[in-house]
Structure formats: structure tokens, C-alpha cells
Structure 1
Amino acid sequence: MTKLRQIIARFQGDENGTALVEMAIVTPFVLLLSAGVFEFSNILNTRLLIEAGVEDAARYMARCSDTWDACSTLAKNLAVNGDVTVATGSARVSGWTSDLITIGKTSTAAVDTTTTPPTELYLSNKSTVDVVQVSTSYPYYPDHDLGLWSYLGFGNLSITASHQERVFGW
């Protein structure tokens, strides 16, 4: 026991190596924080790219004057590749395909009569207005788990986006 006290007493006043010990304690936390910031910024960038694609597709569909099926195919290409033709565009987001995009059209009342006084939703000379909606759900990292984030308890992440536009075409 005396030998142990002598060893402890010898190290009590010695400050050599304290910076190394502090760095050994802090470095894993700094690396974890850095990896989290990097991954979060990557998720945010992917979300913004998907939103831009969905908005572009909805605007295209709202102004397209061809048949519904032809416009839908071109709008999906525009959303995914940034161009209406698949051959010339480059993918906005890796793994995001036109199969993950849904395009629908609904007729909406131009005036909401449930409010007093009635609220005009769309400036129109008709009682109903056609509205196109483009939506998608993209599984973030579809081929593997979230890496570091899965160790922290996060499950699968799905990025969803949708956009509506009033139809001017057809």
C-alpha cells in the first residue's frame, strides 16, 4: 500500500502530458460532432435538390400543352435529371428515379364558400380550377443504413416533398 501511495504522490504534482490526456478525451467528441454536421448538411442538400426538382416538374406540368401522359413523362425527367430528355440531363440526386414521383391533377373550387365572406382562392372566370400536384418520397441511403446516425438510434430516413401549381395548359 505504501508503494501505491508513493506512485500517486509522484504524479500529483507532475503536469507533463496533461494536454495529451485532454486531447485524448475531447477528440472523439469533436469527431462525432463533425461527422454529424457533415451528414446533416448532406441530408439538407439532398432535400433542397429534391424540392427544386418537384417544383420544376409541377411548373412544367401546369404549362404543358401536350397529352397528360406525354407531359408526365417529360415532367418526371425534368424533376430527376434537370432536363426533359433523359440522355442530356444529369441526375440531381443519386438513386432518385422517376418511379418515385407521383403526378396528379384535381379540380378545386375557385372560391371557398365555407368562410364568411367567401374567400377567393384563385382568380378565375370558372367555378373550378385545375391544380396539378407533384410529390415524391425518397429513401435517404436506400442501399445501406445511415452509418453513424444508425448507432445513435436514428432509423430509416425518407425525404418527402410536394408542390402544387394551377394548370394553365391543356
Structure 2
Amino acid sequence: MTKFGKIIRRLQGDESGAALVEVAITIPLVLLLSAGVFEFSNVLNTRLLLEAGVEDAARYMARCSGDWDTCKGFAQNLAANGAVSSGSARVAGWLPGTVEITKISKDATDTATGVQLYLSTKATVDVVDVSTDYTYQDLGFMSYLGFSNFTLSVSHQERVIGW
């Protein structure tokens, strides 16, 4: 028997160090999985904050009784900063100027099916559409894997009650 064979036979029954090998194999996988979960939850949280801001702005615009431009500025600030004036940013880097607010006149009844979409005494209703696009700044995990930044797009519509 060769010298190498003797060494192998002697180590066959020895289990010391096996746990170290198992940990060395599994820890990188666990850390990679943890980083992925953390990044995904941050994306989800950012998306929810954007949705909340857009919904708040749409509700504000739907009920605002002032002139369009004044209400629009307040609603944009409400979306991005959580307050009509001042406030602190809901999402870092999301500015009021990136919030798009438009008024749309819609038919109260679907002309193709005859289904009444909105209860209204007139043929059209005014709807406020608030939308935004936000380039997500990753925490480093996705760029490490070779993915580039991506854009989160959210929008919300509310029927106008004010004006």
C-alpha cells in the first residue's frame, strides 16, 4: 500500500472538521439568500410607499375646491412628502415634480356595452389621474448580480367630487 493510501484510510473514519466544511459550503448560500430577501422587501416597501403617495394625491385632487394649479402643487407635494406643504420625503429621491396629475373626462356609460360606469346626471364625469415613475436605487445586491436599475411605475384614478 502506498503512503497516500495509508493517509486516506486513516482519515476515512475521522469526522473532525466535517462541520467546518458544511458551514463553509452553506454560509455563502445563506448570505446570498438573505441579501436577496432584504433587497426584494426593500423594492416592495418602496412600491407601497409610492402607491400610498399617488393615492393620497389623487384623493386630494378629487376633493380640492381651489384652482387647478394651486391644488396640483399641493397634491404633488402630498404625494412625495406626505404633507401638503413641507413634510419629509416618503422615498429618497422621489421629488414632487415627478408626480404627473391630469384631469380626464370619461363617459359615464360604456358605449360598447351600455353598462353604467359612473353614477352621474351628465354624460361625462371628470376623473383625476395621478401617476409617477421612480428609478429604484438598489442596495447593491442586484447590481452585484449584474442587473441595472429599473423603474417602478404607479398610478391611481379618482372621480372628481370638488371643483
Structure 2 length normalisation: TM-score? 0.95
Q: What is the one-letter code of the residue matched to 2:135?
A: P
Give 1:146 shift.
5.1
Stretches of 4+ moved more than 6 A in 1? none
Q: Is the 8 Å Cα contact of residues 109 and 129 (structure 1) preserved in structure 2?
A: yes
Query: 2:94 touches 2:134 (CA, 8 Å); kept in 1?
Result: yes
CA deviation string 1:98-136 (max 9, x = no partner):
121111111000011201xx1000000000001110000
Task: Measure the CA separation in 2 of the matches of 1:125 and 1:44.
Answer: 40
Aligned length: 163
What is the match of residue 117 of structure 2?
121
1:43 match: 43
CA contact (8 A) 2:57 2:79 kept: yes
In the other structure, the counterpart of 2:109 is 111
The offset of 1:11, in angstroms, is 1.4
Any unmatched runs of 5+ in structure 2? none
Structure 1 unaligned spans of 5+: none
> Contact 2:110–2:117 (CA<8 Å) still a contact in 1?
yes
Backbone CA RMSD of aligned residues: 1.3
**Structure 1 residue 153: Cα displacement:** 3.8
TM-score (norm 1): 0.91
Residue 25 of structure 1: aligned partner: 25
SS across alignment from 2:158: strand
- Contact 1:146–1:156 (CA under 8 A) maintained in structure 2: no
